[in-house]
């Protein structure tokens, strides 16, 4: 039953790219009650609409843009989730991006946009409040992100319009491609840009002119002030403002947990570390910026000379600069910034450098030869080779382009002996901190429903280690791990920023203040008067339905794993070394028990699904013969 709830856009827009038709459907009260919004809405829609047995790139598969109820209505709140069956992993796909696209989308009246079908030619969709136009994008096909965004803003004639587009990499269905928002913010994970490219959808442009309603303006202002005071009181906020995430070069190095030489080494030489520790001092222009209503503004604007392009501004965080530099033995931050600019313009994920690092090890071992890569020398640190791979992959050009376009799984399929050297979980290779250097916290990679990712159980790290130090019993560690995973999931449901609300949170007091502020903001905006238990019941539903979706793709306990190298080899460093990752099976047993999952398969138990009102999911899994007995 359709309802109008303050704080929400109020509807889901269904767009059929094959027929060039669209339909606006009011939000359902049950959807709001059970899943709240954001990642919650998206995961529910994906479960209901995806064809588990078809290719992720089949035209009828959905591509979902979704935002949360606090987007546009809280500090650091403008997040967009882009969701699909992932062509990179073959499982649940979800990529999160900032900027102001989500804000305009909600002001246009939409909490989610579902794209299905495929256009017969390159197309962009122009959404202006209730108006939905399908426009020819043939003239934009092959153009870079900046060229495309500039031209689209000119064509729609509104500087306040927001653009989400793909570059050449997404057009050519490269699985490491990114959907780029507001020029340089990326929905980069899970290959969602390849799904967009398969639909011949070059871009989505949105402009909303409606004011989002607030239920209780006085209570809302008080809640906003409570949130601001929580941020001001936490020293993590200032750290984010001054250095962004680039303080992590040193943090991860000091514990010996960097990913170097494809997971064989965990620390940089002191002189190299110093260069990266000072990257914001050396190359950052004296300004800082952030996404909508950001109180942290952790985004750093760097200026660098890029061969062939001249002097350019680039935005990149620690998680992008590390794989595009020292993970490939490139020890000059300036070169890493150059590669960041190139990948951004071409619509490639910054973590593409990790895939190149795998190829470099395979070349070192004689598994990949010069013949395989058009005579290229893939020795560690070869800057020209890296530049060539980036360009050729983005345009899917020649042997090199084809080899790298299929991502890590494509390389392993071609070279089966590469499997033991591949650093991934469920075919995603987004592992910025070596689990051997921090076993408790980095268990997150094993159980993430989208494959290896730090973001779905990131933040609250200081609190987590206070509550569960390395000497704590595993039972205590796993209970604390769920606190972290639950809070980050809640943040993604509400549409607020994980970095601001979680990663820069440094004390239990700050965490509790922020948690309380989120509840107060939501209730003052919507008038629904939820409890904190209602929040976390929604979190449980989201994780359960994502695991159920993955069960339909064949994901089982064996896939909640860590790379073979991490389990069998020690991690070496200059000053600190670590043994192989310990007790994975014991941790999984405890995690499954706490989540109400079957310990043999990792699939949600029937009683757990029923407890959280997901009876229809239990029936679906039972009909498929995969519901645990």
Does residue 297 carry a pLDDT above 80?
Answer: no
> Exposed/middle/buried for 64, CB within 10 Å: 0-12, 13-18, 19+?
buried
pLDDT of residue 269: 96
Q: Set out the domains of the chain in order of their start, with CATH numbers.
A: 11-207 (3.60.9.10), 258-421 (1.10.569.10)
pLDDT of residue 132: 99
pLDDT of residue 3: 72
The residue ranking higher by pLDDT, 438 or 15, is: 15
Task: Calculate the average pLDDT of the chain.
Answer: 95
Residue whose token pair is 């070869």: 382
Q: For residue 591, how far is the Cα from the chain centroid? A: 22
pLDDT of residue 440: 83
- Strand ranges, E, within 261-318: 284-289, 299-306, 310-315
Residue-wise pLDDT tens digits, 83-110: 999 999 999 999 999 999 999 999 999 9
pLDDT of residue 1: 53
Of the listed ranges 276-290, 389-403, 419-433, 496-510, the least confidently predicted one is: 276-290
pLDDT of residue 466: 82
CA distance 396 to 390: 10
Residue-wise pLDDT tens digits, 447-473: 999 999 887 667 777 787 788 888 899
CA distance 418 to 358: 9
pLDDT of residue 279: 92
pLDDT of residue 191: 97
pLDDT of residue 462: 76
Does residue 582 carry a pLDDT above 60?
Answer: yes
CA distance 501 to 494: 11
Q: What percent of the chain has pLDDT over 90?
A: 85
The residue ranking higher by pLDDT, 286 or 172, is: 172
The size of the chain, in residues, is 629
Does residue 337 carry a pLDDT above 80?
Answer: yes
CA distance 85 to 46: 8
Residue-wise pLDDT tens digits, 234-280: 988 888 888 888 989 999 999 999 999 999 999 999 999 999 999 98
pLDDT of residue 468: 84
Closest of 362, 358, 412, 424 to residue 563, by C-alpha:
424
Paired with 25 in beta bridges are 12
- Report DSSP letters for 118-163, one per residue: --SS-EEEEEETTEEEEEE-GGGTT--HHHHHHHHHHHHT-TT-EE
pLDDT of residue 430: 86
pLDDT of residue 271: 96
CA distance 314 to 310: 12
Compute the average pLDDT of residues 342-348. Answer: 98
CB 327 within 8 A of CB 253: no
Q: What percent of the chain has pLDDT over 70?
A: 99
Q: For residue 60, how far is the Cα from the chain centroid? A: 23
pLDDT of residue 572: 93
Position 629 confidence tier, pLDDT thresholds 50, 70, 90: confident
Helix ranges, 495-599 (H): 498, 508-526, 532-552, 564-568, 584-595
pLDDT of residue 300: 84
pLDDT of residue 286: 63
pLDDT of residue 457: 66
- Report DSSP letters for 46-96, one per residue: HHHH--TTS-TTSTTS-EEEEE-TTTTSSTT---EEEEEE-TTTSSEEEEE
pLDDT of residue 301: 87
pLDDT of residue 470: 82
Does residue 155 carry a pLDDT above 90?
Answer: yes
Does residue 420 carry a pLDDT above 80?
Answer: yes
Q: For residue 54, how far is the Cα from the chain centroid? A: 23
Residue-wise pLDDT tens digits, 4-47: 899 999 999 999 999 999 999 999 999 999 999 999 999 999 99
pLDDT of residue 164: 99
Phi, psi of 535 (to 5 degrees): -55, -50
């Amino acid at each position: 039953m359709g309802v109008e709830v303050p704080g929400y856009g109020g509807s889901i827009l269904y767009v059929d790219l094959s027929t060039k038709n669209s339909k606006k459907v009011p939000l359902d009260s049950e959807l709001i009650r059970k899943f709240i919004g954001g990642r919650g809405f998206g995961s529910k829609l994906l479960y209901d609409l995806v064809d588990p047995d078809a290719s992720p790139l089949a035209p009828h598969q959905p591509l979902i843009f979704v935002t949360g109820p606090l987007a546009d209505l809280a500090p650091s709140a403008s997040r967009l989730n882009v969701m699909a069956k992932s062509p990179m992993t073959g499982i649940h796909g979800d990529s999160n991006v900032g900027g102001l696209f989500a804000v305009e989308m909600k002001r246009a009246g939409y909490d989610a946009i579902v794209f299905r079908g495929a256009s017969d030619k390159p197309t962009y969709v122009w959404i202006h409040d209730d108006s939905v136009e399908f426009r020819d994008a043939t003239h934009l096909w092959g153009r870079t992100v900046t060229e495309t965004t500039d031209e689209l803003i000119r064509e729609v004639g509104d500087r306040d319009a927001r653009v989400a587009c793909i570059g050449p990499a997404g057009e050519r269905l490269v699985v490491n491609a990114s959907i780029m928002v507001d020029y340089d913010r990326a929905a980069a994970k899970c290959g969602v840009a390849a799904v967009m490219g398969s639909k011949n959808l070059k871009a989505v442009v949105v402009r909303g002119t409606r004011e989002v309603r607030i239920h209780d303006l006085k209570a809302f202002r008080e809640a906003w002030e409570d949130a601001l005071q929580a941020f001001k009181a936490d020293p993590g906020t200032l750290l984010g403002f001054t250095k962004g995430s680039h303080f992590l070069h040193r943090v991860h190095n000091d514990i010996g947990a960097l990913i170097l030489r494809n997971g064989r080494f965990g620390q940089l030489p002191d002189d190299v570390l110093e260069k990266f520790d000072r990257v914001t001092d050396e190359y950052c222009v004296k300004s800082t910026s952030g996404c909508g209503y950001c109180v942290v503004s952790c985004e750093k604007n760097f200026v660098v000379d890029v061969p062939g392009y001249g002097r350019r501004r680039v935005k990149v965080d620690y998680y992008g600069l590390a794989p595009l530099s020292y993970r490939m033995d490139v020890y000059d931050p300036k070169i890493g910034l150059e590669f960041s600019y190139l990948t951004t313009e071409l619509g490639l994920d910054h973590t593409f450098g990790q895939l190149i690092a795998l190829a470099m090890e395979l070349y070192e071992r004689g598994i990949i030869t010069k013949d395989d890569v058009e005579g290229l020398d893939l020795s560690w640190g070869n800057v020209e080779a890296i530049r060539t791979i980036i360009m050729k992959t983005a345009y899917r050009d020649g042997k090199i382009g084809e080899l790298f376009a299929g991502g890590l799984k494509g390389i392993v399929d071609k070279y089966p002996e590469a499997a033991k050297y591949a650093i991934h979980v469920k075919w995603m290779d987004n592992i910025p901190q070596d689990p051997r250097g921090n076993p408790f916290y980095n268990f997150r990679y094993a159980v993430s429903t989208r494959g290896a990712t730090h973001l779905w159980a990131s933040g609250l790290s200081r609190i987590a280690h206070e509550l569960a130090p390395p000497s704590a019993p595993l039972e205590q560690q796993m209970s604390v791990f769920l606190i972290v995973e639950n809070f980050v999931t809640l943040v993604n449901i509400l549409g607020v920023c994980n970095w601001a609300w979680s990663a820069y949170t440094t004390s239990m007091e700050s965490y509790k203040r922020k948690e309380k502020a989120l509840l107060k903001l939501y209730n003052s905006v919507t008038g629904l008067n939820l409890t904190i238990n209602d929040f976390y019941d929604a979190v449980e539903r989201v994780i359960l339905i994502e695991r159920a979706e993955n069960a339909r793709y064949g994901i089982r306990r064996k896939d909640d794993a860590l790379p073979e190298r991490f389990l069998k080899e020690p991690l070496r460093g200059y000053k600190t070394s670590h043994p192989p990752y310990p007790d994975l099976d014991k941790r999984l047993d405890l995690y499954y028990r706490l989540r109400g999952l079957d310990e043999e398969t990792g699939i949600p138990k029937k009683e757990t699904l029923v407890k959280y009102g997901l009876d229809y999911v239990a029936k679906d899994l039972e009909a498929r013969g995969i519901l645990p007995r």
